[in-house]
Structure formats: structure tokens, C-alpha cells
Amino acid sequence: MNDLIITNIQELILPKSTDRPLKGQELDDLTIVENGTVVVKDGKIVYAGAHSDDFEAQEIIDASGKVVSPALVDAHTHLIFGGSREHEMSLKRQGKSYLEILEMGGGILSTVKATRETSEEDLFNKAEHDLLTMIKHGVLAVESKSGYGLDKDNELKQLKVSNRLADKYNLDMKHTFLGPHAVPEEADSNEAFLNDMIELLPEVKQYADFADIFCETGVFTIEESRRYMQKAKEAGFKVKIHADEIDPLGGLELAIDEGAISADHLVASSDKGKEKLRHSDTVAVLLPATTFYLDKNDYADARGMLENNGAIALATDYNPGSSVTNNLQLVMAIAALKLKLSPNEVWNAVTVNAAKAIDVDAGTINKGDKANIVIWDAPNHEYIPYHFGINHAEKVIKDGKVIVDNTLTLD
């Protein structure tokens, strides 16, 4: 006897199971089954496809008029941080630049100060609330970065919180050491601070899957980033990079040369970098909510990357300064509107390709896969990025069990 059948599904979304990320035109290839059925036993998918009456189960969910998909994957978040920066919005409206806000005690260093002053337990409680919001919006696989400690004790504190969350909720969660996220005020120099972060790599390895660095004007150069990435690989890490967010320094090219699992942001990436994607499986993780929140006109060139047969994914970049949303559904809408992605491309970018960007077994619900599923209160797969800014997730199913039911009935 099976555990669960989801039947009468209006549209069943079935991304391909693949050993590598989908590239170029492949991203627009998405199987949509009308009148579908999903069967689950022991937390795994037994069947997912056209309507079938050949199965029995202890529980049956009628998904008439609903969409069913794999649970979403958020491949770039800064989940663990202290404080918040809502007061900076009024400063931005007054025309204050980022550097001016930084000089006033705001910006990333204010988050560093708040994170250092927040206990591990309080950080855990804050991040748990934010993570549960993600889950309620259909996300069951998450990447979580450090980077607001900028010293040994506080970077470790963030990573320990991230690991505790993964253990408590048994999530597909990956942890990233982003020690070189900024240069702290007490540092003697960029070089000295970067050396400290390199020395920390062996110790943080027990808590982190990836090592990341912010390669940007005024932060870390291409050469500094290359040295850090090479040292991280020697320490056993897979590497990521915050690249080409503001200036086209060549961060995407560096990521490809160093075999990074992903290069993230890429708003200002050069044509040369986009062309190099053709011969690489490095995933370009695009963060359009950041561009939206910062009120910038230029978004990452998703279409150019796909035309060069590149692999792209989408993520929230949830953080307190430049993308204050943990709703990946909103990112799907912004990507459709501003990155000019088709509905199929959007869905693949938040499922199978996002999973490849963080090396996690997620993003598909084909036979044998984990039964991590979302039932969407929507008539078709195009509707979810179309009707933006709300939560369309009706039920979130983890390992074949309903863990979130957002159905609301008013008497």
C-alpha cells in the first residue's frame, strides 16, 4: 500500500532529472502533464505522470484545478544575520549614496555590528522565523551563507546556527563560508584580513560546504579572489563567487576558470564572460530581486547567457541590505518581467538548476526522487509568476508528508 496519491492534478510540472545543469535552450524544455497523478511511498516518488487509477494509498489528495511541482530551491541566501536596516530606506529616498550611508554607520558594517552583538540563540530564533517563511512559500532546499561576522568567532557562530536549522528541520540545506564578504573596520588591510579568512578555512570546513568571496570594486580584486578560491579548493571546498555585481571585473571568467559551482549576481558581466559559459557547467545564479530593491535599471543579461548556452538559476539573495525578501515566488515574477524568461525557464531555474548550483538532490519529482512537493492554488504554471507578490503555495509536502497547509476558511 502506498502512502499518498495526489490525483486530478490540473498541471503537473516535471523538470528533467539530469547529471548537469540545463543549459541554453534546454532551460525552456519542461514537461507539463495535464490531469496528472503523483504516487508516494516511504517518502519517495513511485509514479509521476498522466492520470492513473492503478494505485492505492492510505491518503488521497484531490488537486483538481491545482498545479503540482517539486518544492522550490533557493540557491543564494544570507539567512543568518542580526538586526535590520529599514531606517536606511528613508536615507536612500533622500538621495544618500551607499558610501554616505556607510559613513553614517549604516550599510553592511551595521549588520556586522548587530550580528556580533546577537547571541547564537537569538540568531537561531530570528533565522528560524525567516526559514519557516521560506518553507511556507514552497522552498525545501536552501543555501545559507555566513559573512556578517568577519572574524573567527562570529563567522563560526553563523555557520553553527545554519547547521542547527538544517538538523532541526531535516532540510536539504547547504552552508557557505563567506568570510571575505567585506573588510571589517578593525582590519589592518585587505590583504591581512583575507589572510585571516584563508587561515580559517580548515576550521570552518566542518560547518560549511562551500567557500565564497565578494569580488567587487572596493572589496576584493580578481587576484585576491583567485588566491582565496584556490586555497579554499586545497582545503576541500567547492567554491562560489559574488561576481560582477557592479563593475565588470571579470568575476564570471574567474569563476569558470576556477571551476566554481556557481557565480552569482553577474549584473555587469562582460560579453567575454558570457561567451565562456558555453564551455562550462558553472551555474550563473541571478538575483533580480536585488536589482529591483536597489532600484537599478540594468538587470543581469539572462537572455545573453542562455544564447551562449549558459546555465542559469534564480535565487532571492535574502539579506538585510539589498534584497529584503524571502519569497522566491516574487523572484519568479521579477525574472519573468525583467529578465525576459519564459515560464518554463523560470520553473527550471528555481528547481533543477538551482539544485545544481548548490549540489543538492532536489528540484525534481520523477520516479525515485524525494517526495518534496508543492501543491499550488493556481490554474496553470504560468499563473504563479503572473499573479505576483502573494503566496500561491497551498500545501507543502516533505518526504511525502504535508508539513504546511495554507488553506484558509472563514466562517
> Mind listing the pLDDT tens digit for each residue in 302-333?
999 999 999 999 999 999 999 999 999 999 99
Cβ-count burial of 130 within 10 angstroms (0-12 exposed, 13-18 middle, 19+ buried)?
Answer: middle
Distance CA 332, CA 341 (A): 9
In terms of domains, do 252 and 376 share one? no
Cell of 392: 500561491
318 annotated to bind ligand: no
Cell of 74: 533557493
**Residue 102 confidence (pLDDT) above 90:** no
Q: Are 201 and 167 in contact (CB under 8 A)?
A: no
Residue 385 lies inside a defined structural domain of this protein: yes
Cβ-count burial of 100 within 10 angstroms (0-12 exposed, 13-18 middle, 19+ buried)?
Answer: middle
In terms of domains, do 150 and 24 share one? no
- Please list the alpha-helical segments (H only) found in 205-349: 222-234, 251-257, 271-276, 288-293, 302-307, 328-338, 343-349
107 annotated to bind ligand: no
In terms of domains, do 310 and 284 share one? yes
Residue 342 belongs to domain spanning: 72-358
Residue 410 lies inside a defined structural domain of this protein: no
What is the pLDDT, as a whole number, of residue 96?
83
Of 169, 170, 194, 173, residue with least CA distance to 182: 194
What is the pLDDT, as a whole number, of residue 100?
80
76 annotated to bind ligand: yes
**Residue 411 confidence (pLDDT) above 70:** no
| Those residues with Cβ within 8 angstroms of residue 295's Cβ, 6 or more apart along the chain or in another chain | 92
Distance CA 155, CA 238 (A): 18
The H or E element spanning position 238 is strand 238-243
Residue 308 lies inside a defined structural domain of this protein: yes
Distance CA 19, CA 39 (A): 24
Distance CA 132, CA 393 (A): 13
Of 168, 225, 158, residue with least CA distance to 191: 225
In terms of domains, do 144 and 238 share one? yes
279 annotated to bind ligand: no
In terms of domains, do 16 and 48 share one? yes
Strands 401-405 and 393-398 come out as: antiparallel
Distance CA 75, CA 313 (A): 8
pLDDT tens-digit readout, 133-158 = 999 999 999 999 999 999 999 999 99
20 annotated to bind ligand: no
Cα 212 versus chain centre, distance:
14
In terms of domains, do 139 and 36 share one? no
In terms of domains, do 199 and 272 share one? yes
CATH number of the domain within which 154 lies: 3.20.20.140
Residue 83 lies inside a defined structural domain of this protein: yes
Cell of 149: 561576522
317 annotated to bind ligand: yes
In terms of domains, do 241 and 333 share one? yes
Strands 210-211 and 172-177 come out as: parallel
Write the Ramachandran bin of 12: left for phi over 0, alpha for psi from -120 to 50, otherwise beta: beta
242 annotated to bind ligand: yes
Positive or negative, the CA dihedral 384, 386, 391, 394 is negative
What is the pLDDT, as a whole number, of residue 212?
99
Q: Which of 358, 375, 394 is the last residue of a domain?
A: 358
Q: Are 338 and 61 in contact (CB under 8 A)?
A: no
Of 147, 144, 146, 204, residue with least CA distance to 171: 144
pLDDT tens-digit readout, 322-374 = 999 999 999 999 999 999 999 999 999 999 999 999 999 999 999 999 999 99
In terms of domains, do 348 and 375 share one? no
**Residue 181 confidence (pLDDT) above 90:** yes
299 annotated to bind ligand: no
In terms of domains, do 172 and 107 share one? yes
Q: Is residue 13 very low, low, confident or very high in pLDDT (cuts 50, 70, 90)? A: very high
Q: Are 136 and 402 in contact (CB under 8 A)?
A: no
**Residue 103 confidence (pLDDT) above 90:** no
pLDDT tens-digit readout, 253-299 = 999 999 999 999 999 999 999 999 999 999 999 999 999 999 999 99
Count of domains forming the chain = 2
Residue 411 lies inside a defined structural domain of this protein: no
CA distances from 298 to 268, 291, 295 (A): 8, 7, 9
**Residue 99 confidence (pLDDT) above 70:** no
103 annotated to bind ligand: no
The percent of residues in the chain predicted with pLDDT above 70, rounded, is 99
In terms of domains, do 173 and 39 share one? no
In terms of domains, do 194 and 227 share one? yes
| Those residues with Cβ within 8 angstroms of residue 96's Cβ, 6 or more apart along the chain or in another chain | 104
pLDDT tens-digit readout, 42-68 = 999 999 999 999 999 999 999 999 999
181 annotated to bind ligand: yes
Positive or negative, the CA dihedral 255, 70, 304, 307 is positive
Q: Are 76 and 315 in contact (CB under 8 A)?
A: yes
pLDDT tens-digit readout, 61-95 = 999 999 999 999 999 999 999 999 999 988 888 88
CATH number of the domain within which 61 lies: 2.30.40.10
Collapsing DSSP to helix, strand or coil, 58 comes out as strand
What is the pLDDT, as a whole number, of residue 106?
82
- For the CA atoms of 307, 308, 313, 318, the dihedral, rounded to the nearest 10 degrees, stands at -100
322 annotated to bind ligand: yes
SS3 string, 156-181, reads: HHHHHHHHHHHHHHCCEEEEEECCCC
